[in-house]
Amino acid sequence: MLEVKGLSVQYGKHRAVDDAALSVATSEIVVILGANGAGKSSLLKAVAGLQPPGTGARVALDDRELVGLQPHQIVEAGLALVPEGRGIFGELTVRENLLLGAFARRARADEANNRHRVLALFPRLAERLDQTARTMSGGEQQMVAIGRALMSAPKMLLLDEPSLGLSPLLSSELFRALGRIRQDGIGVLLVEQNARKSLAIADRGYLIENGRIVGAGRAAELASDPAVQRAYLGGAR
């Protein structure tokens, strides 16, 4: 279980995230919806240790405090981030990218098993293990990025706009894969602008506006809330 309390991100005078609190259970998909610039990426980065989370912040994974740990120690603790823009190594092959994901001590012993699971999740990668990552399509690169994060054997997977730039077909495939990751007992926290598809797969959601969490609920409730429909679902259905 991931528990976040009192988390803020400040860039100079600009407060991008203000006193955020949220939780994600194991085997749960939670989506954070918000417009451009609402603070979604900043929030995920602070949870993953890539931005200072402000004084008094609490980020706990299964009761282990993550605030103050280095990003690689947070990966060791079982939390993996797939950043916006994917962050894969373009000049390396798919196989090499996956291997780098298994660098975490917690994952080394089980590397073969984890790779087997990743390739079962994304069969397309199995056919392309020796392809250079930068020559792959956007959707395939997103699979490499998620696969690499899963190779660190996370308990909690954070994804920053995974469906950005993907075709409708590929985003559906991606959201289905998140459902299978949840079945494996991994918690998933994603930020998305694609509210319709993410709410369809998620268990719960949070709404973020100008850095503040302004709403929360079961995904089905959010999807049928007229205010959410106006703001994030392109009007009432």
Q: Which residue has the tokens 């103050």?
A: 68
Query: What is d(CA 73, CA 80) in angstroms, rounded to the nearest whole number?
Result: 11
- Please name every residue paired with 5 in a beta bridge, in sequence order, or none if there are none: 58
Nearest-CA neighbor of 204 among 35, 25, 23, 31? 31
Question: Which 97-116 positions form the footprint of ligand ATP (CB under 6 A)?
Answer: none
SS3 content of the chain, % helix, strand, coil (to 5): 40, 25, 35
Among residues 38 and 125, whose Cβ is nearest to ligand ATP?
Answer: 38
Site string for ligand ATP, 6-45 (x = CB under 6 A): -----x--x-x-----------------x-xxxxxxx---
DSSP letter (8 states) at residue 27: T
Among residues 18 and 225, whose Cβ is nearest to ligand ATP?
Answer: 18
Instruction: Report the nearest approach of ligand ATP to the CB of residue 85 (Å).
Output: 10
Give all strands (DSSP E) within the chain, no chain letters: 2-11, 14-24, 29-33, 58-61, 64-65, 79-82, 156-160, 187-192, 204-209, 212-218
Instruction: Report the nearest approach of ligand ATP to the CB of residue 119 (Å).
Output: 30
Handedness of CA 126, 137, 185, 201 (dihedral sign): negative
* Residue-wise DSSP of 187-206: EEEEEES-HHHHHHH-SEEE
Instruction: Report the nearest approach of ligand ATP to the CB of residue 37 (Å).
Output: 4
* Residue-wise DSSP of 38-64: SSHHHHHHHHTTSS---TT-EEEETTE
Instruction: Report the nearest approach of ligand ATP to the CB of residue 191 (Å).
Output: 6
Instruction: Report the nearest approach of ligand ATP to the CB of residue 193 (Å).
Output: 6
Does position 196 bind ligand ATP by CB under 6 A?
Answer: no
Instruction: Report the nearest approach of ligand ATP to the CB of residue 105 (Å).
Output: 30
Site string for ligand ATP, 42-61 (x = CB under 6 A): x-------------------
Q: How many residues bind ligand ATP (CB under 6 A)?
A: 11
Interaction site with ligand ATP (CB under 6 A): 11, 14, 16, 34, 36-42
